[in-house]
């Protein structure tokens, strides 16, 4: 009744291509994080302005990003933009979708982090003659960086895992895409996806390890 025999050799033959896919996966995630952090900072600033419309846009972004499945977010970028005549590649749709998601989560993390820094810190900095910008750059941001460091690390891991959703909009050169291609041709589903899972796992662990090392170098207090 169970006549599936494992054939690891097929999976191992796919390994070089899968590793190449893993590079695409990692690059996509890293890029989505860079854009995500920048947009999150913008959203953070937007949510602090007195302008109601600006605040509403930022608030809506954060709310949707955090409360709908990432899969839908990517789907909607790909097919939604396509429907209004803006055709984007699978990869661009995936990148935009994950970036949207990252920015929403990070904006919320940044906001929480900012709240954790008492305004007496800014007041102390200003009382020493620092401009408002200096007070933020020299006193608030370095402290904020430490607070949001682990949330950023988590989000990076999450971004790597989210790239696997690219397959639903037809991406075929990331780790999941390559794996799926081999799967369709060889039907060694279990071996291939088990191997892919191991690679995802190792990427995630590597990110956390690098982050630990960085934190240890960066945060001395």
Partner 1 sequence: MIEIEKVHKSFKDLEVIKGVDLTVQKGEVVSIVGGSGSGKSTLLMCINGLENIQSGSIRVDGTEVHAKGTDINKLRQKIGIVFQQWNAFPHLNVLENVMLAPRKVLGKSRAEAEELAVKQLTHVGLADKLKVFPGKLSGGQQQRMAIARALAMSPDYMLFDEATSALDPQLVGEVLDTMRLLAEDGMTMILVTHEIPFARDVSDRVAFFREGLVHEIGPPDQVIDNPQKPETAAFLKSVV
- Which residues contact partner 1 by CB under 8 A? 120-121, 123-131, 134, 138-139, 142-143, 146, 219-221
Both tokens of residue 75?
A: 């789907």
Cβ 217 to partner 1 shortest distance, Å: 14
Pick 60 or 131: Cβ nearer partner 1: 131
C-beta of 66 vs 146, nearer to partner 1 = 146
Quote the least distance from Cβ 8 to partner 1, whole Å.
Answer: 50
Q: Which is nearer to partner 1, 29 or 125 (CB)?
A: 125
CB of 113 to partner 1, least distance (A): 13
Least distance (Å) from partner 1 to the CB of residue 115? 16
Rounded CA separation 19/216 (Å): 29
Report the residue number, 217 or 220, with the smaller CB distance to partner 1: 220
């Amino acid at each position: 009744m169970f006549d599936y025999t494992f054939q690891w050799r097929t999976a191992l033959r796919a390994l070089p291509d899968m590793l190449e896919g893993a590079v695409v996966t990692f690059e996509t995630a890293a890029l989505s994080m860079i854009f995500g952090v920048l947009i999150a900072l913008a959203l953070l600033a937007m949510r602090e302005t007195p302008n109601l419309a600006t605040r509403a846009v930022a608030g809506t972004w954060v709310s949707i990003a955090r409360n709908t499945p990432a899969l839908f977010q990517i789907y909607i970028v790909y097919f939604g933009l396509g429907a209004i005549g803006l055709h984007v590649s699978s990869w661009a749709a995936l990148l935009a979708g994950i970036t949207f998601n990252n920015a929403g989560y990070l904006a919320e993390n940044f906001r929480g982090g900012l709240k954790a820094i008492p305004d007496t810190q800014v007041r102390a900095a200003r009382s020493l003659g620092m401009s408002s910008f200096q007070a933020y750059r020299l006193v608030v941001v370095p402290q904020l960086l430490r607070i949001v460091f682990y949330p950023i690390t988590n989000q990076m891991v999450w971004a790597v895992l989210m790239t696997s959703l690219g397959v639903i909009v037809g991406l075929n050169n990331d780790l999941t895409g390559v794996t799926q291609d081999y799967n369709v041709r060889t039907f060694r589903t279990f071996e291939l996806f088990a191997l892919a899972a191991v690679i995802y796992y190792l990427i995630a662990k590597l990110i956390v390890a690098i982050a630990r090392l960085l934190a240890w170098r960066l945060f001395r207090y």
